[in-house]
Chains A and B, each alone.
Chain A
Amino acid sequence: MIRDDDLELLAKAKEAGLLSPDEITDDELVPEDEEFIRLALAERIQHVILFTSFFTLVLTGIPLVFPDAPLLHKLFFFPESFWLRGIIHRVAGVTLMGVGIFQVVYVIMSPHGNRDFHKIIPNFQDAKDALNLFLCNLGLREERPRFGKFNFIEKFEYWALAWGIFIMAMTGLMLWFKEASIALFPIWVLDIVRIVHGFEAILAFLAIIIWHMYNVHLNPEVFPMSKVWITGKISKKEMMEHHPLEYKDILRERREKLEIERVKQLLEEVKQQRPSS
């Protein structure tokens, strides 16, 4: 991070005309083959655990949502399979809750996570972006909106997931410890909880299949999938294409860093010249 007094120094130097604006080109700052880190290792691990537990939950939970589907009956063919289904569902549920809790700790404690968390908070610009991209898709607008590190779709998915995990964990725990729930809540609450758990599951599954899989993995640009979840990196081209505002920020930051260095170097030279004169 650049310190504030350094920035002030840079501003003064610019005012004094110490630096010529065209001195540093963009290509100097970012080499053509540079790759940017999009997902840190901790985030990639979270992602893997998240989707494994998620799909396990879907697979082991779906017989309760669609009890009449004949194919599912073939899947649970041996007598203890339904009992085993319940056990696996709970294990996966606890794992998913674990990922959720880890994410909360991660965005609070880790500097990287914390910085990114601030970028993923939705704002009014996201609504404008959504409308503009939709108009652009329809051909009513020429220019695509320019996104930062997280576009509105990514923000929506993140918060939908956070909300989904919270709801599913709460309702899931209530159904798991049903005796305690009956003792704590009026009985109709438990009926509602069951409905909510089922429907939220359908919504979550659709959100993942349609929104996440389409937007991130299956769309024609990256088909069959984006490799970011494995490598964690994106190319300069992808960066400029999908996250132009983030790219601009990176350029600005690097330029400022370089300029400050130069200004400091100049000042050093001046200091050395003074005593000798």
Chain B
Amino acid sequence: MFPFAPFEKKTCFRKVSLDTGKDGSLFFCNGPSRKEVVDKNVTMHTNDKMCKLLFFTLLSLLMLLPARTAPASEISWDNCIGCHAERREGSTAPFVDPAILDESVHRNINCLDCHIDVQEVKHMVGEAPHQRHPEKVSCTERCHVKGNTMGAPDFSPMEQYKDSVHGVAIRAGLEDGAGCADCHGRHNIRSKDDPESTVYRANIPRTCAVCHEDMQVVVKHHIHAESPFHEYEQSVHGRALYQAGLIQFAAVCTDCHGVHDIQAAGTPNLRPRNPETCGKCHVGIFKVYRESIHGVAAIEQHNPDAPVCTNCHGEHKISIPSEAKIPSICSQCHAAEGIMAKYEISVDRNTTYGQSYHGIASSYGSKTVANCSSCHGHHDIRPPTDPKSSVYPANLVRTCGKAKCHPGISSRVASVKIHVDVKKKESGSVYYVRQVLVWIFIGLLIITFIWVVPDLARRIKRKGGT
């Protein structure tokens, strides 16, 4: 489907899991990608012939030992350690690093407290130590629920999680749906305040990236953002986190998307699209935006056409917009006939700007020249009829007369019609002057043609003659 993307993404995935180091799930660290783990449900990764041979040799050695059985109630880590605590040649038992387990929040919990379906451990000749493969661990069956007897923190956001995009996926039976372990880890679960934890603020983007940067997952589930982590890394937030180290201040995935209640793109009033979400941190800008024409429409009128923060700033790749790009950003809506017609705003704002000196200079990369926001403002855009607007006629002297623009400009600028389309009759004298000049130009061309052709013919003839 995507001939080269999966390879690239897989490399990225490896990088991510390597970066997380011990934080990543044990199974991840050992080798196959999460995808492979999920698809094949493989916990044994030595399935070549050579290993099988070794396995049987080992089994035949075990035949010499007396059979030993331990009832479920008595099984503890000590019983598991025999097979799982060491990486043994030819062993099919998944390796669980005791050191990692010891540092996790579950250091005092028995294996079977989580792997509740393992009832007994016995070593019979020719049989696996336990009869079947343990099922997926459920964190909320006995422990992380309200009123549990285990003394575990109750998982109060369970209700939220159920309706989240991940919870819905799990309920729908999708194995890929992120469950507790996908974010919090498996044997290495640590407190979110522990810098080694997968859900520690600074580690969250990489934890999410394990799935969301995996092209196979993205394509399979039609996930809206294709490489959000890659984009996030370049964003102001990503750079604040990774370069400036503002661990407590830089927004990470969960700050915008929510934690257990993450919703799918397209959900009405989606949290990351809600200006109030950005406003949690960008308080000052939010206050200004809320009163602007766009803010009023978006927040008070719930108008889906109104641009919210992400419409102008982008989603994961949020950056300080380059001045040169502003006209193209505004034109996403202001040059769109369908949207502008609804609000009776002229659709030619962008083309007339493009014809003006400001627009031309901007298109040639001038950074000093005025663009949309130089006159209309950024977050405080208001209609020209609003006396608080920077383009309210009486305010134009101040707006145009900025120190770096046209200092000392005459107050007559208030009468200026800025967005003039010279090609339209409504523009008046400019239109007629242009028409006259166009006809003079055409006339001159015709006269020139009529003159030059016979003249050239005669001169060539004469030159040939002499």
Interface residues of A (CB under 8 A from B): 63-64, 67, 73, 76-79, 81-83, 85, 133-134, 136-139, 178-179, 182-183, 186-188, 191-192, 194-196, 199-200, 202-203, 206-207, 210-211, 214, 219-221
Contact of A220 with B364 at beta-carbon distance under 8 Å, contacts A183-B412, A199-B441, A203-B444 already known:
no
Q: 1/0 contact trace for B36-80 toward A, CB 8 Å? A: 000000000000000000000000000000000000000000000
Interface residues of B (CB under 8 A from A): 354-355, 357, 359-361, 363-369, 406-410, 412-413, 415-417, 420, 422, 427-430, 433-434, 437-438, 440-441, 444-445, 448, 451-452, 454-460, 462-463
CB pair A187–B415 under 8 Å, yes or no, is yes
Taken together as a complex, chains A and B put the C-alpha atoms of A186 and B410 apart, in Å, by: 11
Taken together as a complex, chains A and B put the C-alpha atoms of A127 and B363 apart, in Å, by: 47
Contact among B355, B364, B438 for A82, CB-based, below 8 A: B364
CB pair A64–B412 under 8 Å, yes or no, is no
Taken together as a complex, chains A and B put the C-alpha atoms of A183 and B411 apart, in Å, by: 8
CB pair B368–A83 under 8 Å, yes or no, is yes
CB distance from B399 to the nearest CB of A (A): 14
Contact of A199 with B365 at beta-carbon distance under 8 Å, contacts A183-B410, A220-B460 already known:
no
B428 contact set on A, CB distance < 8 A: 188
CB pair B456–A220 under 8 Å, yes or no, is yes
Q: A178-B406, A188-B430 are in contact. List 5 more A-B contacts (CB 8 A).
A: A63-B364, A67-B355, A79-B366, A79-B367, A192-B430
A63 contact set on B, CB distance < 8 A: 360, 364
CB pair B420–A191 under 8 Å, yes or no, is yes
Taken together as a complex, chains A and B put the C-alpha atoms of A178 and B408 apart, in Å, by: 11
B360 contact set on A, CB distance < 8 A: 63-64, 67
Taken together as a complex, chains A and B put the C-alpha atoms of A138 and B40 apart, in Å, by: 91
Taken together as a complex, chains A and B put the C-alpha atoms of A136 and B355 apart, in Å, by: 46
A219 contact set on B, CB distance < 8 A: 455-456, 459
CB distance from B23 to the nearest CB of A (A): 43
B365 contact set on A, CB distance < 8 A: 76-79, 81-82
CB distance from A220 to the nearest CB of B (A): 5
Nearest opposing residue in chain B for A77, CB measure: B365
B440 contact set on A, CB distance < 8 A: 199, 203
CB distance from A270 to the nearest CB of B (A): 51
CB pair A137–B454 under 8 Å, yes or no, is yes
CB pair B463–A221 under 8 Å, yes or no, is yes
B367 contact set on A, CB distance < 8 A: 79
CB distance from A211 to the nearest CB of B (A): 7
CB pair B448–A202 under 8 Å, yes or no, is no
Taken together as a complex, chains A and B put the C-alpha atoms of A73 and B406 apart, in Å, by: 26
What are 20 residue pairs bridging A and B, where the CB atoms are less than 8 Å apart in the complex?
A67-B355, A67-B359, A78-B365, A79-B367, A82-B365, A137-B457, A138-B454, A139-B458, A179-B409, A179-B410, A182-B409, A183-B412, A186-B412, A187-B412, A191-B422, A199-B434, A202-B441, A219-B459, A220-B456, A221-B462
CB distance from B451 to the nearest CB of A (A): 7
Contact among A64, A78, A137, A195 for B422, CB-based, below 8 A: A195
Nearest opposing residue in chain A for B410, CB measure: A183
Nearest opposing residue in chain A for B407, CB measure: A179
CB pair A196–B364 under 8 Å, yes or no, is no
Give the secondary structure class of B's interface: helix
Contact of A195 with B433 at beta-carbon distance under 8 Å, contacts A64-B360, A79-B365 already known:
yes
CB pair B454–A196 under 8 Å, yes or no, is no
Taken together as a complex, chains A and B put the C-alpha atoms of A179 and B407 apart, in Å, by: 8
CB pair B441–A73 under 8 Å, yes or no, is no
Nearest opposing residue in chain A for B453, CB measure: A137
Contact of A82 with B433 at beta-carbon distance under 8 Å, contacts A183-B412, A219-B456 already known:
no
Nearest opposing residue in chain A for B427, CB measure: A191
Taken together as a complex, chains A and B put the C-alpha atoms of A28 and B417 apart, in Å, by: 73
CB pair A182–B452 under 8 Å, yes or no, is no
B427 contact set on A, CB distance < 8 A: 191
Nearest opposing residue in chain B for A218, CB measure: B456
CB pair A196–B433 under 8 Å, yes or no, is yes
A199 contact set on B, CB distance < 8 A: 434, 437-438, 440-441
CB distance from A128 to the nearest CB of B (A): 16
CB pair B433–A81 under 8 Å, yes or no, is no
CB pair A221–B422 under 8 Å, yes or no, is no
A137 contact set on B, CB distance < 8 A: 451, 454-455, 457-458
CB pair B410–A73 under 8 Å, yes or no, is no
Nearest opposing residue in chain A for B406, CB measure: A179
Contact of A210 with B429 at beta-carbon distance under 8 Å, contacts A63-B364, A73-B364, A76-B364 already known:
no
A196 contact set on B, CB distance < 8 A: 433, 437
Taken together as a complex, chains A and B put the C-alpha atoms of A192 and B367 apart, in Å, by: 26
CB distance from A205 to the nearest CB of B (A): 11
Taken together as a complex, chains A and B put the C-alpha atoms of A202 and B434 apart, in Å, by: 13
CB pair B409–A83 under 8 Å, yes or no, is no
Contact among A64, A78, A210 for B357, CB-based, below 8 A: A64
A178 contact set on B, CB distance < 8 A: 406
Taken together as a complex, chains A and B put the C-alpha atoms of A23 and B413 apart, in Å, by: 79
Taken together as a complex, chains A and B put the C-alpha atoms of A63 and B364 apart, in Å, by: 9
The 9 closest A-B pairs by CB, nearest first: A183-B410, A137-B454, A199-B437, A67-B360, A82-B364, A82-B366, A191-B430, A187-B416, A137-B458
Taken together as a complex, chains A and B put the C-alpha atoms of A202 and B354 apart, in Å, by: 20
A81 contact set on B, CB distance < 8 A: 364-365
CB pair A195–B430 under 8 Å, yes or no, is yes
B459 contact set on A, CB distance < 8 A: 219-221
CB pair A210–B463 under 8 Å, yes or no, is no
CB distance from B328 to the nearest CB of A (A): 14
Nearest opposing residue in chain B for A184, CB measure: B410
A77 contact set on B, CB distance < 8 A: 365
A191 contact set on B, CB distance < 8 A: 420, 422, 427, 429-430
Nearest opposing residue in chain A for B416, CB measure: A187
| Residue of B355, B454, B457 contacting most chain A CB atoms (<10 Å) | B454
B457 contact set on A, CB distance < 8 A: 137
CB distance from B401 to the nearest CB of A (A): 9
Taken together as a complex, chains A and B put the C-alpha atoms of A221 and B456 apart, in Å, by: 10
A139 contact set on B, CB distance < 8 A: 458
CB pair A179–B408 under 8 Å, yes or no, is yes
A85 contact set on B, CB distance < 8 A: 364
Nearest opposing residue in chain B for A207, CB measure: B444
Taken together as a complex, chains A and B put the C-alpha atoms of A206 and B448 apart, in Å, by: 10
Taken together as a complex, chains A and B put the C-alpha atoms of A72 and B431 apart, in Å, by: 26
